[in-house]
């Protein structure tokens, strides 16, 4: 380490209405893992897109290996060995590992006719996978692999070319604990092999564990660069949000109210295997477990998104028949799905459309809809939830992840729901926005509502919940009060089989 | 051990995913041979193969469009325009028939290229639009240049392409097999072929991998137009005429063949063998119903039902997986 590989100086980029980057600097040294951190909208993604040639900067200078880069596009960035691994995996599900790894750069037996040398490509693939210590078949279809393995294929894809700088954009956000560990180990291995990396993550613990240096961006501006060893997590958070966050988990104490939801012997195949529990007003019920343990399936079955095989659900002591999410909504129970982009939002529609979408009946005035009331309600939620948006007519896809999540929350607040089920509510969201979401959760239970929260992050489960359920392989393996819960207790219950 | 296991899975996949339609075809053949003694005669089978061949050619091109999550509605009209221009040049202008046939292919490819350019250069939102436009334009042009009347009197060897036999096998079906083998190779072993699957599977991922997706799409529609023209040559040879109303609603049969053959409307999934079998299933059903004396109007009802059932079986299978 020591020599500078990449230098970005005074980069500015403006989009209509937003200054995404304002005189930003970044210096990455050869062989280091450089953590890039910042809240949503801080400009990390834009900076990466400029580096990879997807966007062109308005002004500023990029120097790679001492040479100034005048024109940067997808092709030249690839030629310079700058390889991004985006947050949303960009693999083609229907094709196999080898084809994905060599996509766009197929090795040809016959150049003119474009005939592919399949055998050679498979051998190369297997070599690269070996280098990553991965037991993945070069002929496996992507859709048959888990998310963690798919990530490894993305990394293998990057290694199949002469990679000089590997950019990992929040690679751990959709991974379970084991997979995260494996990924971090792989990154360490790559570092030993001399690969330079930019690592974008919201998880400070990961940054501390693996990074060499950290650069913080805030609101499109450069804040600081430090050696990781010289700073604490608190220092980094302060730089990110521009103020001290007193508590990462602002927990309020509410007296637990009466039971509002009771689930008895719920079954769906093997993935929801005879589960019974109850949820109360004024409490947050955390559901912990490994990825794939059946937590998402459990909550989906409860609200009728998936069909149950058997079991009963009681709301306020009354047995209810829920066969469709609309039945659940009528009973005052809503689910914020784990994947907001595909299941929670109408991305091409406006903030207003999204917020009023689940409760259009509320706006029926004779036969028409009361558009003024819709706008007024939307404004209310935008301000209450502190949704950062240019306006209520802005399209949902233009907002950052945390703000999109708040729009989904606004959508459900705009109903008469009493039971809120949050499935991974803070996935892919930065620290500041997380705290805001926890505050919204607090407000809900303060109003005597009930919150059920599924989360893969143990500190979050411990910091936010009042009571914790642990699911392992479709079964309920532990139930504990947060006061007696520890990470170790939860993990041991989560790995019972 | 693992290798053997992988091979097993691979073959299971091939049989269930790719050849599901083959079981359907075999089932139909068995049932029909019990119902009608005439069905399994050499005469009738060659007849079926001949019936299937035009659709199989047109559907090969359609397969490419559907693999990229697109569609080509213009194939029937492009077929008519290609043979109209080719037929006129041979019959009315005395151009060498070999060149005339090349003209047919060139017109088809040019119309397809236009489809592709409309889609990728004008950024029309969906190939449904560009090819719907071409469907009307090409049909209209065919009617104009032929004065709405058929052009007949083609040389013997052109007729041979449509209705000749080599031994017991119709020449048109031999052409189909050659095309299918070529397509199999093209789709599986060449860069462009694999890029077609990539673009259909995830266009954004394909683009980020450095694939020129617009170029791929342009090729797809060009080839689709070319295949429509090739189907046209067979049709022209069979009826010994080029007529402007040729190929009416062929796009629907082609789409049906591709879908029955197991391709996904969402793109990225489908094989040329499936499409061939799809075309044969349609021909067998038509033939069987004819043998049973079912009226043409009722045949359409049956065919429509088959399409829905075929896709529904596919839905069930996917759910299980």
Domains and CATH numbers, chain B: 21-316 (1.10.3470)
- Closest partner residue to A78 among B192, B210, B268, by Cβ? B210
**Residue A472, number of CB atoms within 10 A of its CB:** 21
From the number of C-beta atoms within 10 Å of its C-beta (0-12, 13-18, 19+), residue B316 rates as exposed
Nearest C-alpha of chain B: how many angstroms from A369? 30
DSSP A482: G
CA triple B121-B270-B19, angle to 5 deg? 165
Q: How far apart are CA B251 and CA A309, in angstroms?
A: 43
Q: How far apart are CA B251 and CA B79, in angstroms?
A: 10
Would the CA dihedral through A94, A99, A105, A108 be positive or negative?
Answer: negative
Helix (H) or strand (E) holding A279: strand A272-280
Please identify which residue in the block is written with the tokens 């689930």.
Answer: A263
**Residue A437, number of CB atoms within 10 A of its CB:** 21
Question: Domain A4-241: which topology?
Answer: Rossmann fold (3.40.50)
pLDDT for A16 beyond 70:
no
| Per-residue pLDDT tens digits for A395-408 | 888 887 788 889 99
Please identify which residue in the block is written with the tokens 């706008």.
Answer: A375
Q: How far apart are CA B277 and CA B262, in angstroms?
A: 10
- Nearby residues of A79 by Cβ (< 8 Å), 6 or more positions away: none
- Closest partner residue to B194 among A99, A137, A139, by Cβ? A99
Instruction: With cut-offs at 50, 70 and 90, classify the pLDDT of residue B117.
Output: very high
**Residue A320, number of CB atoms within 10 A of its CB:** 16
Contact B106, B165 (CB under 8 A): no
Q: How far apart are CA A486 and CA A484, in angstroms?
A: 7
Question: Which residues in chain B are closer than 8 Å to A114, comparing Cβ atoms?
Answer: 190-192
Tell me if A99 and B269 make a contact (CB, 8 A cut-off): no
Assess A107–B contact: CB distance below 8 Å, yes or no: no
Assess B194–A contact: CB distance below 8 Å, yes or no: yes
Q: How far apart are CA A9 and CA B126, in angstroms?
A: 41
Contact B203, B215 (CB under 8 A): no
Residue spans of the domains in chain A: they are: 4-241, 259-494
- Please name the residues between 240 and 279 in chain B that touch chain A, using a CB distance below 8 Å: 268-269
User: Which ipTM value was assigned to this complex?
Assistant: 0.73
The fraction of chain A above a pLDDT of 70, given in percent, is: 97
| Per-residue pLDDT tens digits for B172-211 | 999 999 999 999 999 988 889 989 998 998 887 888 777 8
| Per-residue pLDDT tens digits for A161-197 | 888 999 998 887 767 778 888 889 989 988 998 899 9
Tell me if A91 and B205 make a contact (CB, 8 A cut-off): yes
**DSSP 3-state assignment of B173?**
helix
Question: Domain A259-494: which topology?
Answer: Rossmann fold (3.40.50)
Q: How far apart are CA A334 and CA A439, in angstroms?
A: 18
Instruction: With cut-offs at 50, 70 and 90, classify the pLDDT of residue B2.
Output: very low
Q: How far apart are CA B153 and CA B239, in angstroms?
A: 10
Q: How far apart are CA B228 and CA B57, in angstroms?
A: 7
């Amino acid at each position: 380490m020591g020599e500078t590989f990449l230098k970005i100086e005074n980069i500015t980029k403006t989009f209509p209405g937003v200054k995404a980057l304002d005189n930003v600097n970044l210096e990455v040294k050869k062989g280091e893992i450089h953590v890039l951190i910042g809240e949503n909208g801080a400009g990390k993604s834009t900076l990466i897109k400029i580096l990879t040639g997807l966007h062109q900067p308005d002004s500023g200078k990029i120097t790679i290996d001492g040479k100034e880069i005048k024109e940067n596009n997808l092709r030249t960035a690839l030629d310079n060995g700058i390889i991004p691994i985006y947050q949303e995996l960009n693999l083609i599900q229907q094709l196999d590992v080898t084809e994905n790894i060599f996509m766009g750069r197929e090795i040809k037996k016959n150049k003119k006719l474009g005939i592919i040398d399949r055998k050679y490509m498979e051998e190369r693939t297997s070599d690269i996978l070996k280098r990553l210590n991965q037991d993945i078949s070069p002929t496996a279809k992507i859709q048959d692999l888990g998310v963690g393995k798919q990530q490894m294929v993305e990394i293998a894809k990057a290694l199949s070319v002469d990679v000089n700088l590997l950019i990992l954009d929040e690679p751990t956000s959709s991974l379970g604990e084991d997979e995260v560990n494996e990924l971090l180990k792989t990154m360490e291995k790559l570092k030993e092999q001399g690969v330079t990396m930019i690592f974008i993550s919201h998880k400070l613990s990961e940054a501390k564990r693996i990074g060499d240096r950290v650069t913080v961006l805030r609101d499109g501006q450069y804040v600081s660069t430090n050696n990781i060893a010289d700073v604490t997590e608190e220092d980094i958070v302060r730089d990110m949000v521009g103020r001290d966050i007193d508590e990462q988990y602002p927990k309020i104490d509410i007296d637990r109210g009466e039971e509002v939801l009771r689930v008895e012997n719920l079954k769906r195949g093997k993935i929801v295997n005879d589960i019974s529990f109850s949820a109360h007003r004024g409490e947050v019920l955390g559901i912990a477990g490994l990825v794939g343990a059946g937590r998402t399936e459990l909550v989906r079955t409860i609200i009728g998104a998936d069909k149950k095989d058997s079991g009963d659900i009681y709301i306020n002591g009354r047995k209810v028949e829920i066969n469709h999410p609309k039945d659940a909504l009528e009973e005052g129970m809503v689910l914020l799905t784990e994947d907001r982009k595909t299941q929670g939002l109408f991305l091409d529609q406006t903030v207003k459309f999204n917020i009023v979408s689940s409760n259009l009946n509320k706006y029926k005035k004779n036969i028409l809809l009361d558009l003024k009331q819709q706008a007024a309600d939307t404004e209310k939620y935008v301000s209450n939830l502190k949704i950062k948006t240019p306006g209520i007519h802005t399209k949902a896809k233009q907002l950052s992840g945390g703000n999109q999540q708040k729009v989904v929350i606004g959508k459900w607040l705009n109903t008469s729901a009493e039971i809120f089920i949050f499935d991974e509510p803070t996935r892919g969201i930065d620290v500041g926005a997380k705290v805001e979401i926890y505050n919204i959760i607090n407000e809900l239970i303060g109003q005597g509502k009930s919150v059920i929260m599924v989360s893969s992050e143990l500190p979050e489960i411990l910091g936010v919940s009042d009571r914790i359920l642990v699911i392992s392989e479709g079964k309920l393996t532990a139930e504990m009060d947060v006061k007696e819960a520890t990470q170790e207790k939860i993990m041991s219950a989560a790995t019972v089989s | 051990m693992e290798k053997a296991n992988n091979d097993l899975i691979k073959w299971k996949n091939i049989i269930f995913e790719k050849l599901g339609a083959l079981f359907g075809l075999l089932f139909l053949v068995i049932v029909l041979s019990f119902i009608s003694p005439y069905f399994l005669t050499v005469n009738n089978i060659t007849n079926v193969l001949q019936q299937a061949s035009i659709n199989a050619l047109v559907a090969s091109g359609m397969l490419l469009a559907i693999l990229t999550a697109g569609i080509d509605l213009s194939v029937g009209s492009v077929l008519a325009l290609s043979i109209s221009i080719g037929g006129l040049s041979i019959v009315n202008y005395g151009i060498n028939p070999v060149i005339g046939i090349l003209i047919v292919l060139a017109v088809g490819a040019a119309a397809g290229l236009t489809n592709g350019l409309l889609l990728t250069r004008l950024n029309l939102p969906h190939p449904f639009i560009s090819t719907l436009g071409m469907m009307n334009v090409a049909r209209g042009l065919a009617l104009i240049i032929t004065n709405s009347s058929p052009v007949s009197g083609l040389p013997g060897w052109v007729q041979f392409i449509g209705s000749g036999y080599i031994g017991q096998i119709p020449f048109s079906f031999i052409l189909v097999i050659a095309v299918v083998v070529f397509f199999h190779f093209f789709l599986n072993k060449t860069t462009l072929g694999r890029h077609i699957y990539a673009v259909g599977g995830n266009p954004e991922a394909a683009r980020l991998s450095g694939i020129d997706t617009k170029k791929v799409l342009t090729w797809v529609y060009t080839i689709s137009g070319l295949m429509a023209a090739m189907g046209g040559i067979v049709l022209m040879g069979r009826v010994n005429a080029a007529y402007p109303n040729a190929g009416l609603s062929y796009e629907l049969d082609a789409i049906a063949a591709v879908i029955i053959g197991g391709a996904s409307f969402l793109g990225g999934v489908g094989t040329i063998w499936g499409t061939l079998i799809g075309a044969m299933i349609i021909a067998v059903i038509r033939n069987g119903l004819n043998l049973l004396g079912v009226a043409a109007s009722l045949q359409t009802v049956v065919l429509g039902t088959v399409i829905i059932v075929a896709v529904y079986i596919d839905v069930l299978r996917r759910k299980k997986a």
